[in-house]
Chains A and B, each alone.
Chain A
Amino acid sequence: MTRMTRDRALSPEELAEVVAADIPAGAYVNLGIGQPTLVSNYLTPEDDVTLHTENGMLGMGAQAHGEEVDPDLINAGKIPVKETEGCSYFHHADSFAMMRGGHLDCCVLGAFQVDRNGNLANWHTGKPDAIPAVGGAMDLATGAKQTFVMMTLTAKNGQPKLVEECTMPLTGVGCVSRIYTDQAVFLIEGDGSVVVRETFGCDVEAVQELVPFALERA
Chain B
Amino acid sequence: MLNVVECAAAAVAPIKNGSTVMIGGFGVAGQPVELIDALIEEGATDLTVVNNNAGNGDVGLAKLISLGRVRKIICSFPRQADSHHFDAKYHAGEIELEAVPQGNLAERIRAAGAGIGAFFTPTGYGTPLAEGKEVRELGGKMQILELPITADFSLTKAVTADTAGNLVYRKTARNFGPIMAAAATHSIVQVSNVVQRGQLDPEVVVTPGIYVDTVVAIDSPAVGQA
Contact = CB atoms under 8 A, between A and B. Distances in A.
Asked if A and B are interacting partners, one says yes
A124 interface: yes
Interface in A125-142: 129-139, 142
Interface string A22-66: 000000000000000000000000000000011111000000000
Main secondary structure of the interface of A (DSSP, over half): loop
Interface residues of B, number: 49
A130 B91 CA distance: 9
B60 interface: no
A136 B75 CA distance: 11
A99 interface: yes
Contact of A89 (B76, B97, B99, B174): B174
B29 interface: yes
Interface string B29-43: 110000000000000
Given A56-B174, A134-B77, A71 B102 contact: no
Contacts of A189: none
B194 interface: no
A170 B126 contact: yes
A191 interface: no
Contacts of B127: 138, 169-173
Interface in B96-142: 97, 99-104, 106-107, 109-110, 121-129, 142
Contacts of A173: 125-127, 142
Which of B27, B100, B101, B170 has its CB near the most chain A CB atoms (within 10 A)?
A: B101
B190 interface: no
Given A54-B102, A129-B91, A134-B102, A124 B78 contact: no
Contacts of A99: 103
Contacts of A90: 174
B174 to A, nearest CB: 5
Given A56-B172, A89-B171, A133-B78, A74 B29 contact: yes
A143 B103 contact: yes
B172 A55 contact: yes
Contacts, number: 145
Contacts of B223: 71
B175 A91 contact: yes
A73 interface: yes
B175 A133 contact: no
A131 B97 CA distance: 9
B165 interface: no
A100 interface: yes
Contacts of B28: 71, 74, 78
A216 interface: no
B217 interface: no
Contact of A92 (B90, B101, B142, B175): B175
Contact of A133 (B99, B142, B170, B173): B99
Given A55-B175, A173-B142, A138 B123 contact: yes
Given A74-B28, A131-B78, A169-B127, A91 B174 contact: yes
Contacts of A136: 76, 101-103
B170 A72 contact: yes
B181 to A, nearest CB: 10
A135 B76 contact: yes
Contacts of B86: 131
Given A78-B226, A133-B79, A173-B142, A91 B99 contact: no
A21 interface: no
Given A71-B223, A72-B170, A72-B171, A92 B87 contact: no
23 contacts: A54-B102, A56-B174, A71-B173, A73-B171, A78-B27, A78-B28, A92-B176, A96-B107, A97-B107, A100-B103, A100-B122, A124-B128, A131-B97, A132-B78, A132-B97, A132-B99, A135-B76, A135-B101, A136-B101, A138-B101, A139-B101, A173-B125, A173-B142
